[in-house]
Amino acid sequence: MKKYVLPFVLFCLIAYSSHAQKMTPGIKGGLNITDVTSFNGDNRLSGHVGLFLHSRITSKWAFQPEILYSGQGQQFPVGLRDEATLALSYINIPLMFQFYPVRQFYVEFGPQIGFLLSANSKNDEDKVEIDEWFKKVDGAICFGAGIQVTPMLGFYARYNAGIADISKNNNGLLNNRDHYNRVGQIGIAVKLK
């Protein structure tokens, strides 16, 4: 199934771009508050940054494909007093549909595919690569809301609910359970035209 995902995404983008009225590029970034299901510990604070193409389909609907670097993962306890970080780095491609009930406010939803760049377990003294414990592809359903303050500047909040088990070898840190990424995001988006 994985070999069909990229061609499907490319087909959707090409088909959409042939019908789009006007595409506006932009940059966005902000704070991530992340965790991994079935994993004990505290949330990890990280960030995301990337590019988007915003396009109105009608006066009420828009489509916005994005490509984002996203730091994900979670804090977890080690021993009685120490804590370490499960640091996961992804390139995510959300395909967001936005509905504008009023001119400057929108709600959004859409699918996301993510590609794992690296996985590390780290604390103040050590950093250990654990890429072999995690699958290279992740999937999520995203939903959120935003406000367009000016024609160029906007603010948004989004939640990405993982729908694919990210663990490959259920041992050690992973406790023989399914694990899904959960990511809350707040940020700023700037349209470049």
Which single residue is written with the structure tokens 């988006």?
189
| Domains of the chain with bracketed CATH | 2-191 (2.40.160.20)
d(CA 73, CA 103): 36
Q: pLDDT tens digit string along 29-82?
A: 999 999 999 877 889 999 999 999 999 999 999 999 999 999 999 988 776 667
The pLDDT of residue 173 is 55
Q: What is the torsional sign of CA 174, 36, 78, 124?
A: positive
- Minimal CA–CA distance to 79: which of 45, 37, 123? 123
Q: pLDDT tens digit string along 92-144?
A: 999 999 999 998 999 999 999 999 999 998 887 788 899 899 999 999 999 99
H helices, E strands: number in the chain: 1, 9
The pLDDT of residue 83 is 83
- Whether the CB-CB separation of 65 and 52 falls below 8 Å is answered with yes
Query: What is the SS3 assignment for 103-171?
Result: CCEEEEEEEEEEEEEEEEEECCCCEEECHHHECCEEEEEEEEEEEECCCCEEEEEEEEEECCCCECCCC
Who's near 143: CB < 8 A, 6+ residues apart?
107, 108, 109, 110, 158, 159, 161
- Would you tell me how many other CB atoms lie within 10 Å of the CB of residue 4? 8
The pLDDT of residue 148 is 95
The pLDDT of residue 175 is 60
CA dist 31 to 13, 25, 77, 136, 147, Å?
A: 27, 21, 23, 23, 17
pTM for this predicted structure: 0.85
Which token pair is 36? 């991994």
